[in-house]
Amino acid sequence: MSDFETALAEMRQALYRAPRPLEDDHGSLQEAPSTLSPHTTDTDLPTRFARELESLRGSVIDVPNAEQAAFAIAELARSLELRSVAIGESLRIDLTQIVQKLREYGIDVFSVARVPEERRAELRVKLAECSAGLVEADCAVAASGTLVFVPTPERPRSLSLVPPVSIVLLEADRIVPDLAAVVSVLGSDAMRANPVAFVTGPSRTADIEKRIVLGAHGPKALYVVMVRSLG
């Protein structure tokens, strides 16, 4: 028997010797599925999402379609004086128009999607030095203002982590009421295979006298461009 199996046998023994806790307040052992109702009764999920995220000092830019998203992002990039923006491959919202607009504004746009081993080192440095990352969220949670990313080789995880400014595209239809709903929207296979990240506001710390400071290690600023319709 391996060490691990021996240990499991000992745990079984330990549980067997004292099968039941003293009082019956240890919860039932059945696999009862949760019957909790959704945590928000808001029907207007985009508005709730925006309110939550803004209370965490993230910004939401509400646009009707992908074309307007391109304008909004280019304007944002100009006002923030971004020099270079890292991107991955498109998810639902087509990035072509956006990239074009950014380049018109003289901003260097480079891709970190599907990187062959020999280019990793170079692109990691480039990503570390760029001014912003642009990536689409797979879904979002209204009740907490949370963005959910399912990173893949096409959209690597550091896109929403390493650059100091994070610009996130979000399709308004992909906003779910609460955390419990995320699994059903993304599917457990996606959440099992990829380095999923829930991101709620800019990176923050409260380690000095419990005062909140943004930009501890991750992005200092978070902009969500919420696209109402893809049509």
- Written as one letter, the residue type at 27 is G
The span from the CA of 59 to the CA of 57, in Å, is 6
Site string for other proteins, 132-171 (x = CB under 8 A): -----------xxxx-----xx--xxx--xx---------
Record the tokens describing residue 155, joined without a space. Answer: 């959209």
Q: Which residues pair with 133 in a beta bridge?
A: 86, 166
Crossing angle of helices 96-104 and 66-79, rounded to 10°: 30
- Written as one letter, the residue type at 217 is H
Looking only at residues 66 through 95 of this chain, which bind other proteins when binding is defined by CB under 8 A?
none
The span from the CA of 222 to the CA of 157, in Å, is 16
Rg (CA), the chain: 22
Record the tokens describing residue 143, joined without a space. Answer: 């009740």
Nearer to other proteins, 97 or 111 (CB): 111
230 is a site residue for other proteins (CB under 8 A):
no
Site string for other proteins, 179-218 (x = CB under 8 A): xx-xx----x--xxxxxxxxxxxxxxxxxxxxx-x-xxxx
Minimum distance of other proteins from residue 28's CB (angstroms): 6
Site string for other proteins, 26-65 (x = CB under 8 A): xxxx-xxxx-xx-x------------x-------------
Report the Cα–Cα distance between both ends of the chain, in Å, rounded. 60
Minimum distance of other proteins from residue 71's CB (angstroms): 29
109 is a site residue for other proteins (CB under 8 A):
no
9 is a site residue for other proteins (CB under 8 A):
yes
118 is a site residue for other proteins (CB under 8 A):
no
